[in-house]
């Protein structure tokens, strides 16, 4: 089952705030986008807002389709 698409929207940040998020993301081995999402989830959780856990996306190559003919056969 595919993960639902994420909502994209423009976000304007103060350059100093962006730099701080960028440093924090690098320390956590995340992208800036993933770090912003993580920080927002943490802030909402502290305020008592209940969220479902994020949908984990599968990583790596998709499994080989067994119904396909091997390479070179048609």
Residue with tokens 């103060």: 14
**What is the pLDDT, as a whole number, of residue 51?**
86
Residues of the chain with pLDDT under 50: none
Q: Which domain holds residue 37?
A: 15-46
Strands of 1-74 (E only): list them. none
How many whole angstroms separate alpha carbon 5 and alpha carbon 34?
Answer: 15
Residue 70 lies in a domain: no
Residue 60 lies in a domain: no
**What is the pLDDT, as a whole number, of residue 17?**
97
pTM of the model as a whole: 0.67
Sign, Cα dihedral of 62, 67, 68, 73:
positive
Q: Which of 44, 50, 18 lies closest to 33 in space, CA to CA?
A: 18
Number of domains in the chain: 1
Residue 68 lies in a domain: no
């Amino acid at each position: 089952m595919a993960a639902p698409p994420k909502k994209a929207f423009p976000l304007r940040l103060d350059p100093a705030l962006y730099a701080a998020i960028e440093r924090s993301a690098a320390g956590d081995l995340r992208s800036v986008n993933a770090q912003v999402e993580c920080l927002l989830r943490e802030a909402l959780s502290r305020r008592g807002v209940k969220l479902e856990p994020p949908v984990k996306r599968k990583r790596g190559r998709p499994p080989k389709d067994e119904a396909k003919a091997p390479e070179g056969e048609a």
